[in-house]
Amino acid sequence: MSLVSPGALAGLKVIDLTRVLGGPYCTMILSDHGADVIKIEPPQGDEVRDWGPPFQDGAASYFIGVNRNKRAIALDLSRPEGRAVLLRLLDGADVLIENFKPGGMEKWGLGYANDLAPRFPRLIHCRVSGFGGEGPLGGLPGYDAILQAMTGLMSVNGDATTGPIRLGTPVVDLATGLYAAIGILMALHERTRSGHGQYLDMTLHDCGMALLHPQAANFFLNGRQPRPLGNPHPNLAPYEKYRTRTGEIFIAVGNDGQFRKLCELLGRAEMATDPRFRHNADRLANRAVMIAEFQAAFTEQDGPAIADRLLRAGVPAGPVLPVDEALAAPHTQARQMVTELDGYRGVATPIKLSRTPGGTRRRPPRFAEHGDEVLAEHGYSAEEIAALTADGVLCTTRRR
């Protein structure tokens, strides 16, 4: 896709000290829309560069998938000289995002309240951590699957035969990246009024808890422990997967009108007036009988054809597609949700702005690819850059 816009966030300078997924996903959202994201990796590099196969040019797909549009530099921040470089890069920066354990930046003399805010009063400092700095688990490391387990998300995934199951995507990491991006944009908006930056305390724990809908809302009202139901919805019916002659489809009926249309299109019009199924609460109470009736009606249907017919009639329905087919689907192409540039392929930004569209401007960076370029922009001479490289402060190859 050819870009004609510098992006809605053009002019925003982001210093990115994050690794792995939550933080990098956040900064990719910002960089997709024009922010200048300078990714600073430790001498060992972002460890997800090794989370493969598959690999491309030595980088794992896990890294490639969340690091486009960024410039990469590697600094040894354990040394005072490396921290001095970081402070120089922070001059004029709008956002600093990092995912060190709480207390890590403070130990280096880079804490927000005592060190950064007095020096850079307009800076927005976002920390992404597992549990935050306070509370019984404060300061401890957090990982997506562990937080899925601890926040209850895993307990409502799966069914009675499987027990709790990890969600197939790292939903807590991704949600934390999304919430962090939202929080940063809120802080930037508030800064236009106050002129001051602020600190954002983003945790996987809190963001995982925030995803517990409708299970938490149900529990607050009925006091019953939510159970894993598999594909069915705890509050709606019919809302599940059905087998057809040519694959599986999913039906998600949200109101009585949709239910009546479903019954008519399947030749089961009498079900819409059956007292057992007339309203959603009735259908929930008699779910097993209803599912059996619909399964019999779907068994000889062509799955994609009946799903398309239902959807066009106003009944939420769709085929259950594997990832490769979903990426190749005509609507995916029409929505330009696969992006390509110089051999790079990825899932495109879903944020569609009419005047200032985002998109892919740079391939994911090689390790330390832009070190000299970034430092030169910040006033370092060629001799100074060479000296920092010789001293091992500015890294050009990964330390193993």
Q: Where are the domains of the chain?
A: 13-211+334-395, 239-322
- Domain 239-322 is in which class? alpha beta
Residue numbers annotated as active site: 173
d(Cα 23, Cα 14) in Å, to the nearest integer? 12
The structure's pTM equals 0.94
3-state secondary structure at position 146: helix
Q: Which residues of the chain have pLDDT under 70?
A: 1-4
Q: How far, in Å, CA of 326 to CA of 338, rounded? A: 11
Confidence at residue 400, expressed as pLDDT on a 0 to 100 scale: 85
Q: Which amino acid, one-letter code, is at 41?
A: E
Q: What is the pLDDT of residue 1?
A: 44
First to last CA, the chain: 37
SS3 231: coil
> Could you tell me the CA-to-CA distances from 81 to 85, 87, 144, 223 in Å, in that order?
6, 10, 33, 56
DSSP strands (E only) in 293-334: 317-319
* CB environment 142-164: b (16+ within 10 A), e (fewer): bebebbbbbbbbbbbbbeeeeee
- 162, two tokens: 């499987």
Phi-psi map region of 133: left, alpha, beta (phi>0 left; psi -120 to 50 alpha): alpha
| pLDDT, position 5 | 85
Separation between Cα atoms, residue 270 and residue 361, nearest integer Å = 56
CA-based torsion, 45, 69, 73, 185: positive or negative: negative
CB contact at 8 A, 151 and 145: no
At the second CATH level, the architecture of 13-211+334-395 is 3-Layer(aba) Sandwich (3.40)
pLDDT in tens, 123-160: 999 999 999 999 999 999 999 999 999 999 999 999 99
Three-state DSSP state, 394 = strand
3-state SS class at 264: helix
| 272, 260 Cβ separation under 8 angstroms | yes
